[in-house]
Chains A and B, each alone.
Chain A
Amino acid sequence: SQQGEEDPQALSIQEGENATMNCSYKTSINNLQWYRQNSGRGLVHLILIRSNEREKHSGRLRVTLDTSKKSSSLLITASRAADTASYFCATDNTGGFKTIFGAGTRLFVKA
């Protein structure tokens, strides 16, 4: 079973609005990553946050990590139609070598 659980499953917003996606996980992690996938193609790495970090920024992206709640959020500010994609969180667990993905949030940004 997948460890990461994204919420919501789908999100529809207008261009210019902010989009927030959440991810919860179950076990201790080394790091958590967010990926974007367009139309069933390859995944694009967005940002990696380590277990000892609480917040990271990259351009219009802001990621937070709360290890006490085993959760993370991805905020996309001033969304664009080109941000329409599926977004996945993925965790690398302590003591293991596999990266575990959630089922993803499907984001639709309407122009």
Chain B
Amino acid sequence: ETGVTQSPTHLIKTRGQQVTLRCSSQSGHNTVSWYQQALGQGPQFIFQYYREEENGRGNFPPRFSGLQFPNYSSELNVNALELDDSALYLCASGEGFQETQYFGPGTRLLVL
């Protein structure tokens, strides 16, 4: 167990809806990153937050947005859901940049 938790574990939405996924970082970690992992693929970097500021972003449209809170918990929001958004969403926390990241168990999102 890494100490990183995510909720919910599973979620079913319909196309066009909005979704919020939550992540609680491991104690003492000030960086959180979010990844999308499609079936059979490696995780794709969505964005990273450091001390409540977005610190880097991957190749995802603006309808993917996030927040990091003072207690270093985090949210991933996805608007106008598309079928291709169906995936496992992983958050990972760490101390600072580009070092070991500790992953949560993920939220599996299905868009119908």
A41 and B106 contact, Cβ closer than 8 Å, known pairs A88-B43, A97-B97: yes
Number of interface residues of A (CB under 8 A): 24
Q: Which residues of A contact B4 (CB under 8 A)?
A: 42
Cβ-defined contact, B101 with A98, below 8 A: no
A43 contacts partner chain B, Cβ-Cβ < 8 Å:
yes
Q: What residues of A have a CB within 8 angstroms of the CB of B88 in the complex?
A: 40
Write out, one digit per residue, whether chain B residues 71-112 have a CB within 8 A of any chain A CB (1) or not (0): 000000000000000001010100001111111111010000
Q: Is the interface of A mostly helix, strand, loop or mixed?
A: strand
A42-B106 in contact (CB<8A): yes
> Do B45 and A99 touch across chains, with their CB atoms under 8 A apart?
yes
A101 lies within 8 A of B48 (CB) = no
Return the 7 tightest CB-CB contacts between A and B, nearest first: A97-B56, A101-B42, A92-B98, A42-B103, A98-B45, A43-B103, A42-B105
A-B contact pairs, 20 of them (CB 8 A): A4-B42, A31-B99, A42-B90, A42-B105, A42-B106, A43-B43, A43-B92, A43-B103, A44-B103, A45-B101, A45-B103, A96-B56, A97-B55, A97-B98, A98-B33, A98-B45, A99-B45, A100-B45, A104-B41, A104-B42
